[in-house]
Amino acid sequence: MKTNLAPTRSNLLKLADDLKFAELGHELLDQKRSILVGELLTLVDQAVDYEGRVVTALAEAQSSLSDAIMQMGRLRVGNLAGAVNIDYSINLGSRRVMGVSVPRVETTFTDNSPYFSSEDTSILAELSIDRYRTTLQLMGRLAELKVSIMRLAREVKKTIRKVNALEKIVIPDNKETMAWMRGRIEEQERENFILLKVVKDRMDRVEEESRALKSLQSNDRVHKEDFHGSSV
């Protein structure tokens, strides 16, 4: 409670405006929190799904490579790997969710195939290349989701702190200060009313005494005039 403020009507109006602003801010921040939490939960579900897909794709790619090595030999597979010619690019963008910048990751590949002759070459080599490429694309999407989750989670914490500060500190403090100030103003008005009434009663009493004194003086003058007249 801000007891250092003077209990005046102007300060009371200012506190009322501050309270309206705080309540509006609380409402908007609460909406922001709900939207961010909803978006965060959606991204978490997607991240869990993509993580499972990455693990599965990586296991399948490694299995294909192991099978190719067993079928063609490690030296042959190593020579084929050196002939693979794939250009790739990772494009980073961003989007905003309630003022929070979250990344967009897009992985693209340009194949310059054929990489090698199909003669004396197992199809497992081509399959391994395709599965590793798919795995890299999934990993790019998973990285995008994890970074987005971290940023949104950080913003959710900040928003929750602001909402709690407004809800549990600022708004109750303003209401308590306004109640205290209203009480002080009403008390001052009662004191002023009593003081004015006392002053008015005193002025009325002085005026009444003045009229009584004038009446006595007037009666005394009349008696004197009557006395002088009878003596003559």
Question: What is the structure's pLDDT at 105?
Answer: 86
Question: What is the structure's pLDDT at 151?
Answer: 93
CATH of segment(s) 9-179: 1.10.287.3240
Question: What is the structure's pLDDT at 148?
Answer: 93
Q: pLDDT in tens for each of the 232 residues of the chain?
A: 666 777 788 888 898 999 999 999 999 999 999 999 999 999 999 999 999 999 999 999 899 888 888 888 888 777 777 667 677 788 888 888 888 888 888 888 777 666 665 566 677 777 888 888 889 889 999 999 999 999 999 999 999 999 999 999 999 999 998 888 888 888 888 888 888 888 888 887 888 777 777 776 666 665 555 545 555 4
Question: What is the structure's pLDDT at 221?
Answer: 62
Question: What is the structure's pLDDT at 118?
Answer: 59
What share of residues in the chain are helix, strand, coil (percent, to 5)? 80, 10, 10
188 Cβ neighbours under 8 A, 6+ residues apart: 7
Is the distance from CB of 40 to CB of 181 less than 8 angstroms?
no
Is the distance from CB of 155 to CB of 40 less than 8 angstroms?
no
Question: What is the structure's pLDDT at 190?
Answer: 85
Question: What is the structure's pLDDT at 206?
Answer: 81
pTM, entire model: 0.70
Sequence spans of domains, the chain = 9-179
